[in-house]
Structure 1
Amino acid sequence: MKFKSEKSIKEYLKKLPDDTVIKYYLDVEYSPFPVLVIEEYTRRFKKKTKNEIIKDLKYQSKLAHKKTQELGKMAKNHRLVDDITKQKSDEIIKHAKKKGFEISQAISKKKASLKTKLKTSTQKHLEELEKLGELKKQGLITAKEFQETKKKILSKI
């Protein structure tokens, strides 16, 4: 579609789906026709006066100015967008490592308490086996009873 006039741009904007108009509205400072985008947005979603539209435009221009200033500061400090992205990525990785360490510590503590519980239950079973062996030596139980009880105790370990 060729844009020959303001009218053709308005027609184009009217044909766009809502999500595209919203996207254009949110990035209006980059639009070559911000007033027309804002007008189409307000026509569809909000009824605003021209003063409110102008206020929005001023706000959007302030945002664009701030972004430009930030980019200027980055250039003065010889920092690239990639450097800032890398810095943010490093912060995220550092945070993830810290969280991972905390989780591993919590797991280790649970593992230690579980080991203690397992040791105590295993020790109990071993003590039962020793008593069982003594009962067999004393002749209080038969070899068959010894073997059956021993299997039951060992299956619990």
Structure 2
Amino acid sequence: EQGRRVAAAVDDDEAPPATLIITAGPMTPYPAELYEKGATVVVSDIRTSPDDPTVYHKTTGYLRNLLALRDAHCARATEALLFNTKGRLAEGSLSNVFIVSEGRLLTPSVEEGLLAGITRAAVLELAAEVGVPAEQRPLAVREVLDADEIFLTNS
């Protein structure tokens, strides 16, 4: 069964009437091979800023993320990891990022400049339920590269 993707935008420029734009189309699921063999990721040259208030909200302004994803695809990778202007991990171009290091589940804190996804929240909640130590904190490039595992979440 194929899912559907729906996007909505509201133009609220204090000038009535507001415009609501909705688009819908087929959502292509990730291939089974991705789950079986894993994804290839690259570190993007594009930086995100924790001082940019738009990074914390789901908006239609995804140009930075789309450019990072395009660069990843040009490098034959599935996803691009975005680091912030302080050199710390923020998020993937389409995902939240977790690393496993020495039995601990680590993910960047929201203050690093990321959109905290609902699947990210669910993973943190499940980790707490089953007793997996989890931390939300700044993650440097070296710590990410030295991780035992990296996994991505996306709704």
Determine which structure has more spread, i.e. the larger CA radius of gyration.
Answer: 1
Larger proportion of helix = 1
Q: Which one scores higher on RCO, CA 8 angstroms, separation ≥ 6?
A: 2
Query: Which bin holds the TM-score, normalised by the shorter protein?
Result: under 0.3
Would you tell me which structure has more strand in proportion to its own residues?
Answer: 2
TM-score by length of 1: 0.20
